[in-house]
């Protein structure tokens, strides 16, 4: 495989789902875990398309659930690569929600997922294409990806807090 740069839109993935009864809790709200399950699938399809390889979820960053999503609502999940590292990719996932009639559209959630690309024959990590951002939003997400990655390494115990340079800077003011 020729490892050339690819754009964010090359692998942008959109998933629409209607909230069914079994997706909701006894109050009639979409359960957070069901939303994360769909976000993971959308993000995984996006990452596999970018990597042109099978992928596995490596991590999910902090997710907030601020607004209730109700039975019968329609959600639109958009997944986009923010940045590719050696064999891993960060995917930005945003959830829009609206009534079934399209009324009251609003952003519901977002989260950053990390995936690792695997070589199908030996299931070892495999190199992925770099991302070439095309506009300011894509460049902003691209640039901030290293900071989020640092936090991820700290939170999973792979980096000592005192070695997390970018994060230290934020908290050191």
Q: Is 162 in the site for a second copy (CB under 8 A)?
A: yes
State how far the Cα of 89 lies from the Cα of 48, in Å rounded to an integer.
10
Which of 7, 54, 96, 127: binder of a second copy (CB under 8 A)?
A: 54
Stretch that binds a second copy, among 16-24, 80-88, 124-132, 133-141 (CB under 8 A): 16-24
**Closest to 15 (Cα-Cα) out of 41, 47, 50, 33:** 41
Distances (CA, A) of 122 to 29, 45, 55, 74: 42, 21, 13, 40
Q: Is 159 in the site for a second copy (CB under 8 A)?
A: no
- Token representation of residue 87: 């064999």
Tell me the closest approach of the beta carbon of residue 5 to a second copy, in angstroms: 16
Stretch that binds a second copy, among 40-48, 80-88, 126-134, 135-143 (CB under 8 A): 40-48
Comparing CB distances to a second copy, the nearer of 7 and 58 is 58
Are the C-beta atoms of 108 and 99 separated by less than 8 Å?
no
State how far the Cα of 84 lies from the Cα of 12, in Å rounded to an integer.
14
* DSSP bridge pairs for 92: 80, 112
Q: Which residues bind a second copy (CB under 8 A)?
A: 11, 13-18, 20-22, 24-27, 29, 31-34, 36-42, 44-45, 48-49, 51-54, 56-66, 68, 71-72, 74, 98, 100-103, 113, 118, 123, 151-152, 155-156, 161-162, 164, 167-168, 170-173
């Amino acid at each position: 495989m020729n490892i050339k740069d690819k754009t964010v839109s090359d692998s942008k993935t959109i998933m629409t789902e209607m909230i069914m009864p079994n997706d909701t809790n006894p109050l009639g709200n979409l359960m957070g875990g069901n939303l994360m399950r769909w976000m993971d699938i959308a993000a995984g399809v996006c990452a596999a398309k970018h990597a042109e390889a099978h992928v596995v979820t490596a991590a999910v960053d902090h997710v907030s659930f601020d607004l209730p999503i109700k039975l019968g609502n329609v959600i639109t999940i958009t997944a986009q690569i923010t940045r590719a590292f050696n064999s891993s990719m960060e995917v930005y996932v945003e959830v829009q929600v609206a009534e079934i009639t399209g009324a009251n559209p609003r952003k519901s959630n977002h989260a950053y997922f990390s995936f690792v690309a695997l070589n199908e024959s030996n299931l070892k990590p495999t190199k992925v294409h770099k991302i070439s951002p095309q506009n300011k939003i894509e460049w902003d997400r691209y640039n901030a990806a290293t900071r989020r990655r640092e936090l991820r390494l700290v939170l999973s115990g792979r980096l000592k807090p005192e070695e997390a340079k970018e994060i230290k800077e934020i908290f050191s003011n």
